[in-house]
Amino acid sequence: MKVVIIGAGLGGLTFGACAAGDGHEVILIDKNKEPGGVLTLARQDGFSFEQGPLALTDLGPEESVGSFLESLGIHLETVRADRGLVTPDFALLPPEEYEGPAWRKKRLKALFPQDAAGIDEYYRFYEALMHLRFLGGQNFINRLKMLFAFRKIKKYENMSCRAFTEKLFSDERLRLVFNGILADFCADPDEVQCFTLPFVNPETGFEKRIPAEKNGRLFYPSFRYVVGGCQKIAEALCNYILAHGGQFLPETVAEKVLIEDGKAVGVRLSDGRELSADAVVGCGAARDFFTDLVGLEHLDETYRKILNSFRPMEAVFMLHLGVDYDPSVYQKQSLCYYYGSYDLHGAVQRLRSGVYHEGKDGYLIYFPDRHAPDFAPEGCHCVTIYTVCPDRLKEGSWAERKKVYADQLICLAEKYLPGLSEHIVTRKIMTAEDYRELTHMKKSSFGGVVPVWKQQNPPHVTPVRNLFFVGQQSENGGGVPAVIGGARDAYRKWTT
């Protein structure tokens, strides 16, 4: 059978690889020159920069993404990664000498002795959810074990992240340690279920020396960088599709999904050509795809309601710098979060109203050439500084303000990277406007959907027969493991 896939992001590439591997005819189209969407590199003056995912989970040889790629004959070199966390009052950075898997717990109890009991309870909660993750198989014995393990944390199932951390911790600074990462998703701690916290704060993500194994079996998630950059995932999947008879049509824009008698039968391109298909797969911005390419009249009331109610994330302001000195002298981790505010609720609400914090609420500093040395010319290094931001500014435009905002980020970062401004040899600024163009979205949504509690995101199987929707704004949500897993599930639903 023949499948046409609109969008060569990670979801479309994964669906296409599954289909091509099973002998189906695959045509993959994308408006950009290269496959990968936000996995593609930003390039300037001999430097290359990663734009999308940074440290990734589930890439290990026994983990879901790593195993899937290996099953396709794709072998990517990866290295374990961790990240630092710095607040206005203290830092949680991996010590020079390894202090064991509980070093953060001990450090937090020393910093916040009044909340020692709550810290102990959090880590019991953490281990219980990691155990449930480990037991996630479907055999009968595991289901019984999961029921028993869930009893330990059932009392928290109706709590938000805010309510849970307020119950355990009296100090707002300690609550930030666990809730702060939600800012990456532009999520208010009051709208996310507390069971999310251990999965966005795995201890292995803050200390790469913690073993991912327990009792000889993989237990905790590991965070990894792809050596040479995560665009290698997209390149490898596209090459797999081509090697199995598929086609990739770059710089090609889909204009309409062709529907007859409630069934997707092909795609019309912007140049007037029509591609027939036994199945059509859409990716990218859900509302754009279904409004402009499909037509809401082809959807039922339930699907239209989901499209109207789900919340995409906001955008990012990303500043890529090529520098002629080694910044890792000052920041030991390749990736570090620098928080500037403890008021996450206020920060999120301001973002959603179009008010950009100019880096004052927090930002990340990332060194991509640590795991991709060829990203920088000899004697130079790459620095990426980025923040979450509104897609559109309440006052002014990104084009008008981007240089000022870039200078402000550099000024803030110099607190931790002394002399940064004096060593910049090139800089590339990426705003929400640039990402709208790159991803072909009317609203830049970097990372997918906000993980709002009980929110239903657009399902893979649509009301139009043989029309599927995948990617970071589909039911699986954002993140490399989720997008790959969701696209594989969508493929299985088509073929079964």
In sequence order, what are the residues at sequence separation of 6 or more whose Cβ sits closer than 8 angstroms to the Cβ of residue 54?
Answer: 225, 335, 364, 366
Return the percentage of the chain with pLDDT > 90, whole number. 91
Distance from C-alpha of 386 to C-alpha of 316, rounded to nearest angstrom: 7
Q: For residue 397, what pLDDT is reported?
A: 96
Q: For residue 225, what pLDDT is reported?
A: 95
Distance from C-alpha of 224 to C-alpha of 319, rounded to nearest angstrom: 23
* Closest C-alpha among 16, 12, 21 to residue 244: 21
Q: For residue 385, what pLDDT is reported?
A: 97
Compute the C-alpha angle 371/339/38, nearest 5°: 45
Whether the pLDDT of residue 137 is over 60: the answer is: no
Whether the pLDDT of residue 141 is over 70: the answer is: no
Distance from C-alpha of 398 to C-alpha of 390, rounded to nearest angstrom: 10
Q: For residue 60, what pLDDT is reported?
A: 87
Mean pLDDT of 142-147: 65
In sequence order, what are the residues at sequence separation of 6 or more whose Cβ sits closer than 8 angstroms to the Cβ of residue 496?
Answer: none
Whether the pLDDT of residue 149 is over 90: the answer is: no
**CB burial of residue 95 (10 Å; 0-12, 13-18, 19+):** exposed
Are 304 and 458 contacting, i.e. CB atoms less than 8 angstroms apart?
Answer: no
Q: Place 446 in a pLDDT band, splitting at 50, 70 and 90.
A: confident
Q: Place 144 in a pLDDT band, splitting at 50, 70 and 90.
A: low
Q: For residue 138, what pLDDT is reported?
A: 54
Q: Which of 59-63, 332-336, 417-421 is the least confident region?
A: 59-63
Q: Place 134 in a pLDDT band, splitting at 50, 70 and 90.
A: confident
Whether the pLDDT of residue 179 is over 60: the answer is: yes
Q: Which of 94-108, 125-139, 403-417, 427-441 is the least confident region?
A: 125-139
Per-residue exposure over 384-403, b if at least 16 CB sit within 10 Å of its own CB, e if not: bbbbbbbbbbeeeebeebbe
pTM recorded for the entire structure: 0.95
In sequence order, what are the residues at sequence separation of 6 or more whose Cβ sits closer than 8 angstroms to the Cβ of residue 315?
Answer: 388, 389, 390, 391, 431, 432, 435, 444, 445, 446
Q: For residue 55, what pLDDT is reported?
A: 85
Return the percentage of the chain with pLDDT > 70, whole number. 98
Q: For residue 411, what pLDDT is reported?
A: 98
Mean pLDDT of 374-378: 97
Whether the pLDDT of residue 490 is over 60: the answer is: yes
Q: Place 136 in a pLDDT band, splitting at 50, 70 and 90.
A: confident
Interval 269-291: pLDDT, tens: 999 999 999 999 999 999 999 99
**CB burial of residue 477 (10 Å; 0-12, 13-18, 19+):** buried
**Residue 257 CB neighbour total at 10 angstroms:** 25
Are 354 and 390 contacting, i.e. CB atoms less than 8 angstroms apart?
Answer: yes
| CATH number, domain 2-39+230-311+459-495 | 3.50.50.60
Q: How many CA atoms lie within 13 A of 252 on its CB side?
A: 23
Whether the pLDDT of residue 45 is over 70: the answer is: yes
Q: For residue 140, what pLDDT is reported?
A: 54
Q: What token pair was written down for 53? A: 């995912």
Q: Which of 29-43, 211-225, 249-263, 476-490 is the least confident region?
A: 211-225
Q: Place 31 in a pLDDT band, splitting at 50, 70 and 90.
A: very high
Whether the pLDDT of residue 145 is over 70: the answer is: no
Amino acid letter, 357: H
Q: Place 365 in a pLDDT band, splitting at 50, 70 and 90.
A: very high
How far, in Å, are 6, 297, 299 from residue 262 at the CA level? 19, 10, 9
Amino acid letter, 194: C
Q: Place 142 in a pLDDT band, splitting at 50, 70 and 90.
A: low
Q: For residue 215, what pLDDT is reported?
A: 86
Compute the C-alpha angle 281/473/9, nearest 5°: 55
Mean pLDDT of 469-484: 95
